């Protein structure tokens, strides 16, 4: 007697979620490969594949009735929004003051809270529900055209861990989602790469994207804390209009 295939329900949803994660991971592998020689081409590929997933995949954050005609909106690609930055260790007494990270980053020891960069635990507010636990991974100074600004990096305590960089800017509530956007979320494969052995990351704000709760309020999303609220307009990445 042959076993019956998985139909609707939790089993089917779990398989669909696994497939979603697999496809997003594959997308960012290709993004990093293409960006090594042509970041603009990587961005074109990212938008095309991502839009296809949002339209067609059952795990899309876009409500089912809105998926067939979904098309994301972005500012045109601008290489001036792409940076390679140095991760600096957070100062527990003064988050704005920091020192460069030397050598390789030991994420393994950090996650356990036994030292390393992510030993400073904190909670980030959520769009719905209780706050989510993170650790402070470090800070980066981004040399924007309007002047350098500092952003905090976080290590996600849930899932299998991951680097998380949410931010807000003055476009929020008008051109972009009011609660901000994400740039890195490596627990969900949104990873633009970098030279981790030397404590450096690629931050390309052309790849900034809206959290799932921007499309449907049933999703619960971590929000950018006050230290990641920029006083400039980041006119790069995904927009609402």
pTM of the model: 0.83
Q: Which residues of 18-40 are buried (b: 16+ CB within 10 A; e: fewer)?
A: eebeebbeebbeebeebbeeebe
pLDDT tens digits, residue range 200-214? Answer: 999 999 999 999 999
Report which listed range, 108-112, 156-160, 182-186, 216-220, is most confident: 182-186
Per-residue model confidence (pLDDT) at position 136:
87
* % pLDDT > 90, the chain: 63
Place of tokens 């059952």: 58
| pLDDT at residue 193 greater than cutoff 60 | yes
| pLDDT at residue 232 greater than cutoff 70 | yes
Q: Supply the mean pLDDT for the chain.
A: 84
The band of 100, judged by pLDDT with boundaries at 50, 70 and 90, is very low
| pLDDT at residue 91 greater than cutoff 80 | no
* % pLDDT > 70, the chain: 77
Q: Is 52 exposed, middle or buried (0-12, 13-18, 19+ CB in 10 A)?
A: middle
pLDDT tens digits, residue range 37-76? Answer: 999 999 999 999 999 999 999 999 999 999 999 999 999 9
Q: What is the DSSP string of the chain?
A: -PPPPP-SSHHHHHHHHHHHHHHHHHHHHHHHHHHTT-HHHHHHHHHHHHHHHHHH-TT-SS-GGGSTT---EEPPP-GGGEEEEEEEEE-TT-TT-EEE--S---HHHHHTTSSSTT-EEEEE-BSSSS-EEEEEEEEEEEEETTEEEEEEEEEESSTT--EEEEEB-TTBTTTB-TT-EEEEEGGGTB-----GGGTEEEEEGGG-B--GGGT-TTS--B---GGGB-SS----SEE--
pLDDT tens digits, residue range 126-168? Answer: 555 555 677 888 999 999 999 999 999 998 876 678 999 999 9
Per-residue model confidence (pLDDT) at position 182:
96
| pLDDT at residue 116 greater than cutoff 50 | no
Higher pLDDT, 31 or 121: 31
């Amino acid at each position: 007697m042959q076993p019956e295939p998985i139909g609707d329900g939790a089993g089917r949803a779990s398989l669909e979620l696994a497939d979603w994660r697999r496809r997003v991971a594959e997308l960012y592998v290709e993004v990093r490969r293409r960006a090594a020689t042509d970041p603009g081409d990587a961005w074109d590929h990212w938008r095309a594949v991502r839009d296809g997933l949002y339209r067609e995949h059952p795990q899309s954050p876009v409500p089912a009735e809105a998926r067939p005609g979904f098309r994301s909106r972005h500012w045109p690609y601008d290489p001036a929004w792409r940076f390679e930055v140095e991760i600096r260790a957070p100062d527990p007494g003064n988050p704005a003051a920091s020192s460069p990270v030397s050598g390789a980053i030991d994420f393994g020891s950090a996650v356990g809270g036994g030292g390393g960069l992510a030993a400073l635990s904190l909670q980030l507010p959520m769009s719905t529900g209780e706050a989510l636990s993170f650790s402070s991974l470090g800070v980066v100074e981004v040399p924007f055209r309007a002047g350098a600004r500092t952003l905090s990096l976080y290590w996600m305590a849930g899932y299998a861990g991951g680097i998380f960089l949410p931010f807000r800017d003055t476009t929020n509530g008008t051109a972009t989602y009011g609660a901000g956007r994400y740039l890195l979320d490596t627990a969900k494969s949104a990873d633009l790469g970098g030279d981790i052995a030397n404590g450096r990351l690629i931050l390309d704000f052309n790849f900034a994207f809206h959290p799932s709760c921007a499309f449907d309020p049933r999703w619960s999303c971590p929000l950018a804390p006050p230290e990641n609220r920029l006083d400039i307009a980041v006119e790069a990445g995904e927009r609402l209009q």
